[in-house]
Structure 1
Amino acid sequence: MSTFSLPSRRGLLFGTAAVSAGALLTGCTSNENNDAEDTDARRADAADDAPGKPVTIGFAGPQADHGWLNAINEMATERAGTYSDVTLEATEGSNDTAQQIGQIETLINKKVDVLVVLPADGKALTQVGLKAMDAGIPVVNLDRIFASPQAYRCWIGGDNYGMGLNAGRYIGERLKDKENAKVVELAGLDNLELTRQRTQGFDDALKNYPNIEKVARQAAEFTVESGQAKMAQLLRAVPEFDALWNHDDDQGVGAERAIQQAGRDEFFMVGGAGSKHAMDAIKADDTVLKATVLYPPTMAASAIDLARALGQGKGIGGLAEFEIPASLTLYSAVVTKDNVEQYLPTGFR
């Protein structure tokens, strides 16, 4: 049973999963009345909740060994179940590249109408994405991007650089009037590009606050255990600081344990991803955790919406475009006590 309620389909595509409109979308205009009439007809036929052509969607997701990854699988399955015209062919989630390639090849052989894939490794799975596209099966590439744009029809995912940027801005604004402010960073896996992007965004934001210095950084592994161990190291290394940015709310549970064990509370903490645990703590306002920067798993539900629209040859309702955009980037909102009620329904366990 799901632990969250999904926002409306329109809300997913135009709210949480915000389109980078300036970069992605251009309007179609014409002086011909016939063209205008055709455009109006296409708009009326855009993807909506009304049943349409039956679509079989193949879904190859991750192994649910992390709260966010589990939410990805749940949200995709739950969203597909709300459509009477969608049949979901879901594989058993896997973080093994070879196994996931085999699962996707099985879906290709079953001739599903559309594929939604969150690859264990985008680069390693690029060839199977190309194989699906060559077979005439459009691919919605979810989050971890393939190495070639020819391997997918549409990419939808989070903004890792934006996560770091918005975390840095939030911390910067809170500390802008404090002299010689010190911050520390509890990062994720350093061998992942997403971790490097989050750190880069954070560092770039802090450049706007010359009174703030990042005095320490430690990489964890997106697990509770690693978060606790690495946070304990940070606390021993830095006797006093003003703010902590933690890249991931799952490892943040461990970080909070280390903080409590050390009896430290002179700083505030900003998390990452948007777990229900983090949002509950922010709402209660009784720990050092004061905010979290979203990396919304609702992208999986939106990916199903996009796959259905692709399978039915429709665009997105409310836009002038005839076709589904080539890419959609979600916005990394900062959740605080002031707005946590708005985002609680998307919090994941």
Structure 2
Amino acid sequence: MSASLPLTTKRIAFAAITLSAALVAAGCTSNEPATTPAASTQQPAGNAGSSNDAPGKKVVIGFSGPAADHGWLAAINNSALEEAKKHSDVELKAAEGTNDASLQISQIETFINDKVDAIVLLPTDGAALTEVATKAMQAGIPVINVDREFSSPFAARSTILGDNYGMGVSAGTYACQVVKEKNLTNPVIAEIAGIDALPLTQDRSKGFADALKACNQTVDNRVAAEFTVESGEKQASNLLQAAPKIDVLWNHDDDQGVGVMAALDQANRHEMAFIGGAGSANAMRWIQEGKMAATVIYPPTQAADGIKLARLIAQNKGLSDLVQVEVPKRIVLNAPVVTKDNVEQYLPLGFES
């Protein structure tokens, strides 16, 4: 969701060597719409044990991520730090989180000068960090690109991403399920997006609209917030005034969803199936309480997976469950739907908004 900064269930992509995230720590998907979109129902699985987990050559990994000014971003940074601690053969050099591209470039320059064995980088802006990432690669330091893609394929050894289009597909497919199960005729479907200028928001909305086509539905009311609690509450209030009845509501981001829920509570409007996005612990508790129908995961584990990949690459190892001997070039994680039926399994992965 990478929500506060400019920049993003489940199939194997053909052209990009996208893998099942069970191989890394989650699922996978491509950005190609299926003929009939289907929401992911995969359950989270424990990491498969292998000889790769045994301590190997000591490696130094540099990590640079964004400022933790959003629940999901804080979870991204924390998951990377916690993953590094699990490996006695990893020394992590973590730069201070920043939203300043120039500062982040200088952090990567420092890693290059320090001759680290690998770099895990969630860039403030993929295009702005492409040149320095390419410089690291040319210096023989593999770069793992997390979440926001560089503008050149030469800037990263491996890229790990969430699936924004897949989030929309999962949300839309679940909405169709609600329509069918409740036997709704002429349902009112509403959407609270994130920042409309961002490609990730556009991808999520497109996936949602494409999936709704499978049950001959469209979005009737739509507003855009800014991935913040305040904007979520404001835009949800505007939406509720414009739509006296809503059957299904999808909110793109669980952090701004705190504000959306506040607006729903204030207006005493809980007639709709409320679907969230990202997978916060707050949203999952609401699902347990019956105040929310579902949320769609946008994995906050991406940087942690980046640490695991960096370790393997620096130690000249591949993924143990693959025949291919090298770590893949590109991995896209899946976007499963969390409901009352599986919330207990996903709650430990939730982040606090």
State TM-score, norm by structure 1. Answer: 0.87
Question: Which of 227, 234, 238 is residue 239 of structure 2 equivalent to?
Answer: 234
In 2: Cα distance, 1:15 partner to 1:322 partner? 15
What whole-Å deviation, never above 9, does each CA across 1:87-107 have from its counterpart, x for those lacking one? 000100011111111111111
Aligned to 1:259: 264
In 2: Cα distance, 1:56 partner to 1:213 partner? 50
Aligned to 1:209: 215
Q: CA RMSD in A?
A: 1.6
- C-alpha distance 231-16 of structure 1, shift in aligned 2 (>3 A): farther
Whether 1:300 and 2:303 are equivalent positions in the alignment is yes
Aligned to 1:6: none
Query: Contact 1:275–1:347 (CA<8 Å) still a contact in 2?
Result: yes
Aligned to 2:38: none
Shift of 1:14: 2.6
In 1: Cα distance, 2:142 partner to 2:193 partner? 35
What whole-Å deviation, never above 9, does each CA across 1:157-197 have from its counterpart, x for those lacking one? 10000000010000111113311011110001112111100
Shift of 1:137: 0.5
What whole-Å deviation, never above 9, does each CA across 1:120-173 have from its counterpart, x for those lacking one? 111111111111111111000001111111100100010000000010000111
1:198 aligned counterpart, secondary structure = helix
Aligned to 1:145: 149
Aligned to 1:18: 27
Whether 1:99 and 2:133 are equivalent positions in the alignment is no
Counterpart of 1:121, as a letter, is D
Whether 1:74 and 2:78 are equivalent positions in the alignment is yes
Q: How does 1:280-291 map to 2 (within 5 A)?
A: 280-285=285-290, 287=291, 289-291=292-294
Structure 2 unaligned segments of length 5 or more: list them: 1-19, 33-49
Query: Contact 2:23–2:321 (CA<8 Å) still a contact in 1?
Result: no
In 2: Cα distance, 1:244 partner to 1:321 partner? 43
What whole-Å deviation, never above 9, does each CA across 1:43-88 have from its counterpart, x for those lacking one? xxx7621110011000001100000000001000000011100000
Query: Contact 2:27–2:335 (CA<8 Å) still a contact in 1?
Result: no
Structure 1 unaligned segments of length 5 or more: list them: 1-10, 24-45
Query: Contact 1:13–1:302 (CA<8 Å) still a contact in 2?
Result: no
Query: Contact 2:56–2:89 (CA<8 Å) still a contact in 1?
Result: yes
Shift of 1:12: 6.4
Question: Which of 142, 164, 172 is residue 176 of structure 2 equivalent to?
Answer: 172
2:341 aligned counterpart, secondary structure = coil
Q: How does 1:216-231 map to 2 (within 5 A)?
A: 216-231=221-236
Query: Contact 1:143–1:158 (CA<8 Å) still a contact in 2?
Result: yes
Whether 1:52 and 2:56 are equivalent positions in the alignment is yes
Question: Which of 324, 335, 348 is residue 338 of structure 2 equivalent to?
Answer: 335
Shift of 1:260: 0.6
In 2: Cα distance, 1:161 partner to 1:318 partner? 27
Whether 1:323 and 2:326 are equivalent positions in the alignment is yes
Question: Which of 288, 311, 315 is residue 312 of structure 1 equivalent to?
Answer: 315
Query: Contact 2:84–2:90 (CA<8 Å) still a contact in 1?
Result: yes
- C-alpha distance 197-12 of structure 1, shift in aligned 2 (>3 A): closer
Question: Which of 111, 115, 129 is residue 111 of structure 1 equivalent to?
Answer: 115
Query: Contact 1:180–1:213 (CA<8 Å) still a contact in 2?
Result: no
Counterpart of 1:340, as a letter, is V
Counterpart of 2:251, as a letter, is N
Counterpart of 1:49, as a letter, is D
Counterpart of 1:100, as a letter, is Q
In 2: Cα distance, 1:150 partner to 1:76 partner? 24
In 2: Cα distance, 1:47 partner to 1:189 partner? 44
Query: Contact 2:21–2:334 (CA<8 Å) still a contact in 1?
Result: no
In 2: Cα distance, 1:192 partner to 1:12 partner? 25
Shift of 1:213: 3.3
- Structure of higher CA gyration radius: 1
Aligned to 1:26: none
In 2: Cα distance, 1:267 partner to 1:78 partner? 38
Counterpart of 1:298, as a letter, is T
In 1: Cα distance, 2:289 partner to 2:24 partner? 25
Question: Which of 187, 192, 199 is residue 193 of structure 2 equivalent to?
Answer: 187
